[in-house]
Structure 1
């Protein structure tokens, strides 16, 4: 296999910079200082100078100290019990992450316990990436809350952003006491998130790895897994998949359904760390009370304003979810359409009865003829930069763009629809079906769907990578690829264009030097891109 070394070095440098920026949002001592400051076990509680909050040490799994803070409703005197919400912190974030939302919840009558996930900042242990110790930690924190706060054992909820979301979902499959979960910008399938299409999501993995090293203590298992992952060691592929499966809520779906937690999932269309497809698929398989919210943005950008204490509909709906499912409040959230989508191009939410109804209508764009492209060169079509590009789309309506007529056809194949007479509402998951042959046994392609205006400027609607290994050179095989789900309105007078090339800074390339890919459309099995479109 061959990696474009110059591009790879630049991408890793950019990912490292992003990691520094991410870590810079938190405050606290260096990991070395944390290790010195975190003894094996501390007293159960310590006082705080901040009104309404206690900073405490909670013994986690194996006695590992978890740094935490506790918010209690004003006037709580032990004469009554309150619903409790447990908040594990996000990757690389300190225990103060949820202070603004924890105070709001406490003011509304909740006990809130937020703790720093093991291995990060001043909590003890090493980073286990939502492994068994992290799942056990969640139950230990619940035990502590029931013993040391006026928490109601029959009204326990968990919530979190990103890493905290994953831990909350996993805990719901292992602890029957958890009655409600709000999982924001998380994952259901870890491998499908950062290894979709059998392609390493380079910038996402490098950013997470860098942020972990800056703010915590990666376990030896994590260090070896990341080395194998970024090094494209195919001999370790099955080990990596097994490692990810153990850390995926989808693995424990039956247990989650048996336990019956009410689960609310929230994610962004452009999440470059945990794309929305895997969340939507997981949502469809849940059998208990459930809700799915998808909005514009990138990883955790939709929740960020709420973490700063500003108005935020994500957190408003999170509290409504807990109010109804823990307190029995008749606030109407159970009567709303359970799938709530906010398109990237409009400000209004759309409600659907389930995920399969979102993309029920499909139209095909033919991928006729035979096209051959050369690998190893970025054509100019790409998915942008992790965290940055889709945040710009969210706040400024500036998605990644490319001049489709100027894309070099030697390195990019292009298929276009007719010019649409009316606005086309893309809703759901576009799918590519084609026949592919390569000159080498391995290769990578990246498919992009663009909204192309009259001047040929294409705005990125969606994308996804695909990698193959062990194929016989020159022998055609079928490729079925799902692009990342989205909600986007294509204006009247515009076209949709499918572009395929072989290099994108977001992903690791597996095309050997000088290799070529040929896309064909046999009469017996025509190639096409199927686009989910809804009528007005």
Structure 2
């Protein structure tokens, strides 16, 4: 590759992510990716078209000049489904050499395809013909956004048609690459269009139903974030209704049927039948598209596959790469396409299916499969003494009040918690004791040696709800000797049984994690009846009484690496 277009060779100066954030207003911000520098990306796209690199940083100017030396850049419109015109850009090599092609559907962002201006140029410099387009309903594209519906899938195939009709030479293999919303569309097009050979899906979803509802709990803050980020987009009426249904906690079954068609997991058999090579990247503390639903898709894939799991929140692991800064995930995405589209003998094919980045050591470790990350399970029982121990302790009860906020919450804002994590400043929970009337907690003995949590923790707990319908949120925390704590993982749970005064046996997976507990630290499990990130089925001022019967003891399973 020409070093002039290698972002690692000439990284521009760029400020570190600012960990300071406003108070808890989940989803109420201008975009899902506020660190995207709109002005810089727009200037880069303008320079691609004009050739005038005045005002660009030297590294970006070199990239523009290098890609214009080997390819023709042009902006235009693609005729999408139902005749809707989609705003797009094309990077086309002039020679007749056979080469691979890449299609890039845009994220859920008003920038549209311009978000890919730098990365599409880098892919072009690596020998690909590229088309990037703005998905329907956003920015300069016509139509209405339908959250990866059939028209979005048809648009992706039309964009591929547009590219194939304009390439100067034969196209060897075809890839789709998407970031965030574009990642979901990329996977769905790959499942429906037999021409697609490989996919790179960065911070997307595998199962939209579990994005909207987790363990039957409406993910209200995530939906508010999607609506807020689409404030300047044009949402289809059915999409608008589906999102509003989540906020209003109505028609969940209808919503799940609607979401099923929009889920790559629903179409995984077709991806497997054609052995499409799939590269997935995700963040551990994803507040928008929680990681377990993506891992469910990954585990069902039987073709060439790779999952890259990193520190951060939605899009954090990849955003710096969109700006042209050195970025491990984008580097591996390029290698993935080099190998599966370009035929390059890259060792990425033999490095294992999973690459994990642990919090907060940031150590990277490959694994042959997802399940191989977990070597064994340590079971800790919940006891009446508020401890986590190896032996069960039946018969106790811990009662908490519903409808009350507590200091233990998932994050400050949807899709923003990871910026502080990337800077090494994760959300810190106060050292003050939790109020036992609104939060039940259990704490383990200090670990004696570094303890590697690797995989999916699982909680079983029994509780009594006096009213029909009940909810709680479980948090697994790393408790330091000074009493402060950091979030390891969490999950909500809702029981929809209409029978009052019900004894509920809750079994739930917490979100997957890779977390290293230092010696002297403890594991703390906290259960609360309310978190502003989620819908709440509890009756105000009702209570939940957690317990541990002889027949079904309450415990948490910790996956150890």
TM-score (norm. length: structure 1): 0.90
User: 2 CA distance for matches of 1:62 and 1:110?
Assistant: 29
- The match for 1:57 is 77
- The match for 1:321 is 336
1:292-307 matches, cutoff 5 A: 292-307=307-322
- The match for 1:336 is 351
Q: What is the CA deviation profile of residues 369-407 of structure 1, one whole-angstrom value per residue up to 9, with x for unaligned ones?
A: 32111111122111112122232112223234243x511
- The match for 1:510 is 537
Q: Which runs of 4+ in 1 moved over 4 A?
A: 20-28
User: 2 CA distance for matches of 1:20 and 1:175?
Assistant: 29
Q: How many residue pairs end up in the alignment? A: 499
Does 1:70 pair with 2:82?
Answer: no
- The match for 1:386 is 414
User: 2 CA distance for matches of 1:244 and 1:54?
Assistant: 35
* Kept after mapping to 2: 8 A contact 1:440/1:512: yes
1:72-471 matches, cutoff 5 A: 72-73=92-93, 76-77=94-95, 79-92=96-109, 93-150=111-168, 152-214=170-232, 216-233=233-250, 236-368=251-383, 369-384=396-411, 385-403=413-431, 406-471=433-498
User: 2 CA distance for matches of 1:392 and 1:449?
Assistant: 19
How large is the Cα RMSD of the aligned pairs?
Answer: 1.9
- The match for 1:44 is none
1:454-493 matches, cutoff 5 A: 454-493=481-520
Distance 1:528 1:124, change over 3 A: same
* SS of alignment partner, residue 178 of structure 1: coil
- The match for 2:393 is none
Shift of 1:254: 0.7
* SS of alignment partner, residue 464 of structure 2: strand
Q: What is the CA deviation profile of residues 450-482 of structure 1, one whole-angstrom value per residue up to 9, with x for unaligned ones?
A: 111112211111111111223422221210111
User: 2 CA distance for matches of 1:357 and 1:222?
Assistant: 39
TM-score (norm. length: structure 2): 0.86
User: 1 CA distance for matches of 2:169 and 2:408?
Assistant: 53
* Kept after mapping to 1: 8 A contact 2:407/2:429: no
Shift of 1:195: 1.0
Shift of 1:185: 0.2
- The match for 2:44 is none
User: 2 CA distance for matches of 1:136 and 1:256?
Assistant: 17
* SS of alignment partner, residue 185 of structure 2: helix
Q: Give the gaps of 5 or more residues in structure 2.
A: 1-22, 41-47, 52-67, 384-395
* SS of alignment partner, residue 28 of structure 2: helix
User: 1 CA distance for matches of 2:351 and 2:453?
Assistant: 23
Shift of 1:18: 4.5
* SS of alignment partner, residue 144 of structure 1: helix
* Kept after mapping to 2: 8 A contact 1:82/1:150: no
User: 2 CA distance for matches of 1:249 and 1:129?
Assistant: 13
Distance 1:107 1:23, change over 3 A: closer
* Kept after mapping to 2: 8 A contact 1:373/1:517: yes
Distance 1:23 1:455, change over 3 A: closer
Distance 1:492 1:478, change over 3 A: same
* SS of alignment partner, residue 192 of structure 1: helix
User: 2 CA distance for matches of 1:228 and 1:221?
Assistant: 10
- The match for 2:16 is none
* Kept after mapping to 1: 8 A contact 2:204/2:282: yes
* Kept after mapping to 1: 8 A contact 2:32/2:415: no
- The match for 1:530 is 557
Distance 1:448 1:292, change over 3 A: same
User: 2 CA distance for matches of 1:20 and 1:252?
Assistant: 27
- The match for 2:63 is none
User: 2 CA distance for matches of 1:306 and 1:312?
Assistant: 5
* Kept after mapping to 2: 8 A contact 1:375/1:516: yes
- The match for 2:27 is 15
* Kept after mapping to 2: 8 A contact 1:376/1:502: yes
User: 1 CA distance for matches of 2:371 and 2:419?
Assistant: 27
